[in-house]
Amino acid sequence: MPTNSDGFSLIEVIVSAAVLSVATLGITSAWKLADDKALAARLDERSRRILAEYAELQNFAPNYLFGQGTSSPRTDSETQGVPLNPGETRNGFLYHPRRVDPTGRTTANALFDDAIPYELTLLVDGQGQLMRLTYRLPYLPDPKGTVVKEIRLNLRQ
């Protein structure tokens, strides 16, 4: 009985430390999962928006714009308002995270990086034109992390 009153045994300390570690790991994993899901939802919304924007452009752009080559494969200002030709691919970025200054200083004008590239391609199959947007989720390995979204263009066959 007196020996029990002297303090905790090594096993008790190890078990309590293990329980605390598991709890901490669980909390941080839940945070990471929440962050990943939030990012996936944001990317899903943006990719749908890009497809909808380009669907309108592809369907209603004047005929003379088709067949024009663009000097840039990027979906930047140079190609704004220029529809894709069948088989053509354009690239861009779905996510532009705030750039964090390693020194911790904040500048008046926020800077943003380019992350999570996407590829937008206009395909032609037996049913007409199909616009395909592909990107990869950074927290999942291939092929599970590759996301493909498609929209069929009905008006311009």
Residues that bind another protein (CB under 8 A): 2, 5, 27, 31, 35, 38, 41-42, 45-46, 49-50, 53-54, 56-57, 59-62, 65, 77, 80-82, 95-98, 108-110, 112
- Other beta carbons within 10 angstroms of residue 155's beta carbon come to 10
| Minimum separation from the CB atom of position 32 to another protein (A) | 11
| Minimum separation from the CB atom of position 115 to another protein (A) | 9
Residue closer to another protein by CB (options 80, 103) is: 80
Tokens, residue 3: 């020996």
| Minimum separation from the CB atom of position 76 to another protein (A) | 10
Residue closer to another protein by CB (options 68, 103) is: 68
Would you say 68 and 82 are in contact if contact means Cβ atoms under 8 Å apart? yes
| Minimum separation from the CB atom of position 112 to another protein (A) | 4
- Other beta carbons within 10 angstroms of residue 49's beta carbon come to 11
In angstroms, rounded to a whole number, what is the distance separating the alpha carbons of residues 136 and 142?
Answer: 8
Residue closer to another protein by CB (options 93, 130) is: 93
* Identity at 53, one-letter amino acid code: E
In angstroms, rounded to a whole number, what is the distance separating the alpha carbons of residues 25 and 7?
Answer: 27
